[in-house]
Amino acid sequence: MLVLFTACDNDFESEFDLAPDERAAIAVKEFKDALISSEHGWLTHYYPNPTKLGSFTFQFKFDETGIVNMNWDYYDFPDESGYSVKMFEKPVLIFDTYSKFSKMTDPEIGEPGKGFGGELEFSMTKKSADGDTLYLAERVSGDPMVLVKATAETPAQLREYAKHTKHIERSNEQVVVPFYFNLSVEGWDTKVNMVYSGDKIIAFLNYVDNGEAKHELMPINFTHEGFEFHHAVVLNGIGVRSFKYDETKNQFDVTDEGVTGAFKYEADCPAHFDGMTDKFFGPKTFGGSAKIVSPKLANLIDGIYPDAAFSYLSTDTYVASWFPCTFNLNFDDWNSLKIKVNYNKKTEDVVVMEFLGYRTGWSAPFDDLAYIEGLMSTEKGQAIKDIVASPKGWTIVPIELKEYGSSYYLVSNEDPEMYMCFGLTYEDD
């Protein structure tokens, strides 16, 4: 009986003035009000999977009716999604119909069946004192999404992102520059070379630290001024993260406070890796295609064959024991000029293509050895042969190292303005 009466006592003091449901409703309303409060919407650099991918930049404009208009740096055309704000353990923003942002979770994009690894639900964490920044977190993984108030200039700035992508992607490169995109920083005693995979918005940093060659994966975030790393690279106690493009010098200057340095296109390779020649050109390795070719190398090859333009390069490293290895110049009419070579290991990451002659093909005119020799005896042909079979060889610069399907650059040591990329294509970009 005593327990019964004690339990029915209504005179308890609540810590709050309002009931839980009322407080939840207020929190939801405050979050929604904050989302729709920005005149030009919000800008976010969203990392769907910061261990594997770079960031995707979106501009969101939320309205009262539950529609969010959006644009992103990747495709410059607007889209919209339904959105809602609901209370779970915290107020949660949900992108609830398909839009460009849904690509962050689409199992058809990125890793098959797994997608980019992003999420569609974000809980509100906090708001900055001035209300210009909203800090959100993915509901399942807890990874952050930060919304920064956009301005009237944001849509125009988004279009700048693509330009910077082109600078470091090296595809469709127009300006002739040496291959190595090296970061030098005052106070560092090493340079950091960067190669970039636009498929994943990931940079691969190659450098030597305390005598040891390092190959580090670094997600990239583009900005309208340049780009930034997901996290700082720290060497000798000096951290570097943000870069701004300087058009006059064609370089990216470090913008981190108190740090001087820049990414420049250079001829020297700052880090050499063991095992590259064996991995890509050793016995029982398979060839590949290089569809990204530096403008200088492409211009050198283009015009050698009068019937069709130059298309791409390829290697046959170990086709079959009774066939020689070849280095192939492929043209738009599907014909190939095959140079017979031995892929000789000069160092751990330098391969030399020893010239052995030419291999005739099955179809005219490359079924005629005299025709091939005629082409290659011209001044242009001799220049091609000289660069391909240079005794200085080609340095192998890894992009992504996997058991199968690795990608890498071959950079001429004769002329570092000549290089080709195996593995990456960007055909789907």
**120 in contact with another protein (CB under 8 A):** yes
- Selected from 41, 54, 91, 115, the binder of another protein by CB under 8 A is 115
Which residues, listed in sequence order, are joined to residue 82 by a DSSP beta bridge? 67
Residue 383: left (phi > 0), alpha (psi -120 to 50), or beta? Answer: alpha
Q: Which is nearer to another protein, 47 or 229 (CB)?
A: 47
- Selected from 50, 52, 74, 84, the binder of another protein by CB under 8 A is 84
Burial (0-12, 13-18, 19+ Cβ within 10 Å), 40: middle
- Selected from 129, 140, 175, 320, the binder of another protein by CB under 8 A is 140
Cα gap 181→270, rounded to integer Å? 10
Helices and strands of the chain, counted as H and E runs: 7, 24
- Selected from 33, 39, 63, 106, the binder of another protein by CB under 8 A is 106
**113 in contact with another protein (CB under 8 A):** yes
Please identify, among the stretches 3-11, 219-227, 243-251, 386-394, the one whose residues bind another protein according to the rule CB under 8 A: 3-11
Q: Which is nearer to another protein, 78 or 155 (CB)?
A: 78
Please identify, among the stretches 100-108, 154-162, 367-375, 406-414, the one whose residues bind another protein according to the rule CB under 8 A: 100-108
Please identify, among the stretches 32-40, 88-96, 163-171, 410-418, the one whose residues bind another protein according to the rule CB under 8 A: 88-96
Query: What tokens does 167 get?
Result: 């600078």
Q: Which is nearer to another protein, 77 or 362 (CB)?
A: 77
Q: Looking at residues 34 to 73 of the shown chain, list those that interact with another protein (rule: CB under 8 A).
A: 65-66
The DSSP line for 74-116 is SS-S-EEEEEEEEESSSEEEEE-S-SGGGGGS-TTSSBTTTBT
Q: Which is nearer to another protein, 105 or 255 (CB)?
A: 105
Handedness of CA 99, 102, 106, 110 (dihedral sign): positive
**121 in contact with another protein (CB under 8 A):** yes
Which residues, listed in sequence order, are joined to residue 138 by a DSSP beta bridge? 122
Query: What tokens does 10 get?
Result: 């209504």
Sorted by sequence, the CB contacts under 8 Å of residue 354 that are 6+ apart come out as: 341, 342, 343, 344, 389
Residues of the shown chain interacting with another protein in the complex, contacts defined by CB under 8 A: 1, 4-5, 8, 19, 21-22, 25, 65-66, 82, 84, 94-98, 102-103, 105-108, 112-115, 117, 120-121, 139-140
